[in-house]
A and B are shown apart, each in its own frame.
Chain A
Amino acid sequence: MTEIRGIYTLWLREIKRYLRDRARIVSSFVQPLLWLVIFGSALRVLVSIGELTYQQYIFPGIVGQTLLFTSIFIGISVIWDREFGFLKEIMVAPISRFSVFTGKLLGASTDAMIQGILVFVLGALLGITVNPLILGEALPVMLLITFGLVSVGLIVASFIESLESFGLIVNFINMPMFFLSGALFPVRGAGVPNWLQIAASCNPFTYAVDALRTVILGGSWQPLFPLYVELLVVTCFDLAMITIGTWAFGRRK
């Protein structure tokens, strides 16, 4: 009971902080907007993938990208907490490190999910075919993806001391994961270099993006793997990251 109350408290704190930070909410609109409107519209003229327009094609990729970037970047809040001393208050509280990690994970995942849902709203405004049913199907997949990605950010944050290095290191993780995932272009098929295909199949985020595309685009998308295989890969990734994350948070000097 103590542990559950502790987790709830830490979750609630993240949500309150998120909702009070209006700049963060507004800015979360901007990046997906740039990708969908500028990048999506510009390349639409040149590229179409099967029956899909380019904008339709990248939409699930941009949903995934928003989850990727926000989730991993939220790890920075751990560094802020350390810098401003609040982390000590949590670390000396009589709850387990697993609960501390879980509370942070659930809170950050909720933030990232809100961002992801906002991209759906944006997509609907831009005339991409989405409806509440599709969103309903996509949500569990999004949540599954988010857990692993938030854990990555929290792991990085538990090893890195400064805000500056966190930003740098996160870019080294974010960017390759994003570009090698098929979010912006197909990573399988004729003409795709062999090395890119191999690199993409080693990237867990590839499976996440493809799963999102499968549930969002439905029949008009030919998945790389069966959905259950992709979800299995993402689940294994989540479990590995959560295990490492709990260990990283539990280290006592």
Chain B
Amino acid sequence: MEHAIETTELTRRFGGLVAVVKLNISVERGEVFGLLGPNGAGKTTTISMLCTILKPTSGTATVNGFDVVKQDMQVRKSIGIVFQDPSIDDRLTGRENLYMHANLYDVAPGEQKSRIDSVLKLVELEDRADDLMRTYSGGMRRRLEIARGLIHCPKVLFLDEPTIGLDPQTREHIWSHIEGLRKAHDITMVLTTHYMDEADRLSDRIAIMDYGKVVASDTPAALKEKLEGDVITVNTKEASKLSSVVAGTADILRANVVGGGLELTVHGGKALLPRIVEAAAKNGIFIESVSLREPNLGDVFLHYTGRAIRVEGGEELHGVTAIRRRRIK
């Protein structure tokens, strides 16, 4: 079967900086493909090349079988994009924005009304459609942008950080819209995100990018399984001391000192937990609390990128082993 998206050695440089390095990915038809990575990993640059906004420095890519450089018009017609940053005209109403999009994408005038009504219904914005966009909340704008991306029935929909900066209720809402879309429409989606829960919930397959390269690619379940190990988090003020105490213990695969404690990736967490507590007590280390859990996608991410993701505003999620900022627009 022909792939929805295929890239071959796709590369993009900005002056001396290489944002995307010889990227080879392929996305199957009908799947949701998650592109994960820290800020500046090259996710948005990759999407921009696939959407024909940026020209590749070298390498090729096809979207829906069309070359992104030579057949850019065909690519544009066959894709929908929800950009990372807002891209609506806030002086127009929601409906006016949608009509404008329908006209730009050559939707037949006779079909426009019904298509617009149906996408408005999908994102539950029928009541507010005739209000100016500037009166919309952040979540409503995002929903309208998703609706807009669907008017011309694209075969591939790009969602660049679709829920960034939104509250948990709105995120949940948008996720269920995305899940609903996937069931009801024959559509391939490419999703970039910083949020591990989002990637885990929505994606069929995930590629983790760092420094412009794919460092791991598989289904979320398989990626978690590959880590093979439970995570024990010990909250203590003497994390580094504890780390040297338990170092060398069999079954401890990795130890990371994180903010306010020690994070251990281990085999057989249940059996190991009492021994760790005992070792701490023997060495006079006071433990505030301990917890045990199975690995999640955040652990996978940390494992491959060696540092935790930084969310908006630069707040740290977990310990950051190396802070390197390479923000690319």
* A interface residue numbers (CB < 8 A to B): 1-2, 5-6, 8-9, 12-13, 16-17, 20-21, 84-86, 88-95, 252-253
User: In the complex, what's the smallest C-beta–C-beta distance from B43 to chain A, in angstroms?
Assistant: 16
- The reply to whether the CB of B88 lies closer than 8 angstroms to some CB of chain A is yes
* Complex Cα gap A5–B106 (Å): 8
**Residue B31 lies at the interface, judged by CB distance under 8 Å to chain A:** no
* Bound form: Cα–Cα A12–B92 in Å: 11
Q: Which B residues from 109 to 152 make CB contacts under 8 A with A?
A: none
Contact across chains for B86 and A85 when beta carbons are under 8 A apart = yes
Contact B106–A86 (Cβ < 8 Å): no
Apart from the given pairs A17-B92, A88-B85, A252-B54, 20 other A-B contacts in the complex at a CB distance below 8 Å: A5-B104, A6-B103, A8-B103, A9-B99, A12-B100, A13-B89, A16-B92, A20-B91, A84-B86, A84-B87, A84-B90, A85-B87, A85-B88, A89-B101, A91-B53, A92-B51, A92-B76, A92-B81, A252-B55, A253-B53
Asked if A9 contacts B76 (CB within 8 A), the reply is no
Q: Check A88 against B83 for contact (C-beta < 8 Å).
A: yes
Q: What is the minimal beta-carbon distance from A250 to any residue of chain B, in angstroms?
A: 12
What's the least CB distance linking A158 to chain B, in Å?
A: 15
Contacts of B85 in A (CB 8 A): 85, 88
Do the beta carbons of B104 and A17 come within 8 Å of each other? Answer: no
Report whether A9 and B100 are in contact in the complex, using a CB–CB cutoff of 8 Å. Answer: yes
Q: Shortest beta-carbon distance, B55 to chain A, in Å?
A: 6
B91 touches A17 (CB 8 A): yes
Q: Quick check: B104 and A9 within 8 Å, CB to CB?
A: yes
Min C-beta distance of A4 to chain B, whole Å: 10
Q: Which of B143-169 contact A (CB under 8 A)?
A: none
* Minimal Cβ-Cβ distance residue in A for B83: A88
Known: A92-B76, A93-B76, A94-B77. A2 touches B106 (CB 8 A): yes
Q: B286 at interface (Cβ–Cβ under 8 A)?
A: no
A86 contacts B87, C-beta separation under 8 Å: yes
Among all A-B residue pairs, the 6 with the closest Cβ atoms: A93-B104, A85-B87, A9-B103, A94-B76, A2-B106, A94-B77
How far does the alpha carbon of A200 sit from the alpha carbon of B52 in the complex, in Å? 45
Contact indicator A94/B105 (Cβ below 8 Å) = yes
Pairs across A and B, CB under 8 Å, 14 listed: A2-B106, A5-B104, A8-B103, A9-B103, A12-B100, A17-B91, A21-B91, A84-B87, A85-B85, A92-B76, A93-B104, A95-B104, A253-B54, A253-B55
Q: Are B106 and A88 in contact (CB under 8 A)?
A: no
- Are A88 and B89 neighbours in the complex by a CB distance under 8 Å? no
CA distance A223 to B52 in the complex (A): 51
Which B residues are within 8 Å of any A CB, using their own CB? Answer: 51-55, 73, 76-77, 81, 83, 85-92, 96, 99-101, 103-106
Docked-complex contact B104 and A90, CB < 8 angstroms: yes
The CA-CA distance from A218 to B215 in the complex, in Å, is 76
Rounded to whole angstroms, the CA-CA distance of A91 and B86 in the bound complex is 14
In the complex, chain B residues whose CB is within 8 Å of the CB of A2: 106
CB distance from A249 to the nearest CB of B (A): 14
Residues on B with C-beta less than 8 A from A93 are: 76, 101, 104-105
Q: Are A94 and B87 in contact (CB under 8 A)?
A: no
Q: Determine how close the nearest CB of chain A comes to the CB of B249; give it in whole angstroms.
A: 52
Residue of A nearest to B80 (CB): A92
Which B residues lie within 8 Å of A21 (CB)? 91
In the complex, chain B residues whose CB is within 8 Å of the CB of A95? 104
**Residues of chain B contacted by A1 (CB below 8 angstroms):** 106
Take A84-B86, A89-B87 as given contacts and tell me if A13 and B77 are in contact as well, using a CB distance cutoff of 8 Å.
Answer: no
A94 and B106 in contact (CB under 8 A), knowing A9-B100, A86-B87, A253-B55? yes
Q: Provide the bound-state CA to CA distance between A75 and B7, in Å.
A: 37
Most buried by B among A17, A86, A89, A93: A89
Measured between alpha carbons, how far is A252 from B101 in the docked complex, in Å?
Answer: 21
Shortest CB–CB separation between residue B98 and chain A, in angstroms? Answer: 12
Report whether B76 and A86 are in contact in the complex, using a CB–CB cutoff of 8 Å. Answer: no
Complex CA–CA separation, A12 to B104 (angstroms): 12
Bound complex: CA of A252 vs CA of B76, how far in Å?
A: 14
B88 & A89 in contact (Cβ 8 Å cutoff): yes
Residue among B83, B86, B87 having the largest count of chain A Cβ atoms under 10 Å: B87
- Chain A neighbourhood of B87, CB < 8 A: 84-86, 88-89
B52 touches A16 (CB 8 A): no
A8 to chain B: which residues have CB within 8 Å? 103
- Chain B residue with the shortest CB-CB distance to A91: B53
- Chain B residue numbers with a CB within 8 Å of A253 are 53-55
What chain A residues lie within 8 Å of B106 (beta carbons)?
1-2, 5, 94
Chain B residue at smallest Cβ distance from A85: B87
* Bound-complex Cα distance A25 to B83 (A): 33
Instruction: With A85-B86, A92-B53, A92-B76 as known contacts, state yes or no: A6 contacts B92, CB within 8 Å.
Output: no
Give the nearest-CB partner of B145 in chain A. Answer: A89
Report B-chain residues with C-beta under 8 Å of the C-beta of A84.
Answer: 86-87, 90
Q: How far is the CB of B143 from chain A (nearest CB, A)?
A: 16
| Interchain CA distance A23-B135 in the complex, whole Å | 19
Which of A16, A20, A88, A94 contacts B104, CB < 8 Å? A94
Q: Please, which residue of chain B has its CB at the minimum distance from the CB of A9?
A: B103
